[in-house]
Amino acid sequence: MITKEEIAKKYLFLLEKGDVGQIIDLFADNGTVVSPLYGTLSASKFYKVLSEDTNSSKLHLDGVFLEKNTNRISLLFDYEWILKNKSKVAFKVVDILELTKDNKIQKLTIIYDTVNTRVLKDAL
């Protein structure tokens, strides 16, 4: 079975590539995403909507944080997001992944400051 850390790194790799299908495969069937910009959505809906709004993404991993005796792992990374209208915004992100017993993502909570991103997204 793939480890928590491997799932986290694979998730960021696929997110940068924009590979919606493989990202969704990392989630449990009823997996959800809690986003400060898009709200709470099923993983499949969230990544499809994000893909529709995105031209490209560049990510730089700053750290992977494992919690002992829990099913959670946290990621800290820089996200450079180029929207479909070519607007660009960069910000620091914390993603908290809550995993099932078989290491599928049950819930992903995204934390970042939306001041700049909300204005650009609303302009789409």
Q: What is the C-alpha to C-alpha distance for residues 124 and 111, in angstroms, rounded to an integer?
A: 22
Cβ–Cβ < 8 Å for 49, 35: no
Domain of 14?
4-122
pLDDT at 121: 64
> How many domains, in total, are found in the chain?
1
Q: What is the pLDDT of residues 29-52, one digit of tens each?
A: 999 999 999 999 999 999 999 999
Q: What is the C-alpha to C-alpha distance for residues 33 and 60, in angstroms, rounded to an integer?
A: 21
Q: What is the C-alpha to C-alpha distance for residues 64 and 83, in angstroms, rounded to an integer?
A: 26
Q: What is the pLDDT of residues 78-109, one digit of tens each?
A: 999 999 999 898 999 999 999 999 999 999 99
Which CATH number characterizes residue 34's domain? 3.10.450.50
Residue 24 CB coordination number (10 Å): 19
Amino acid sitting at position 90? A
Confidence band, pLDDT 50/70/90 cuts, at residue 116 = low
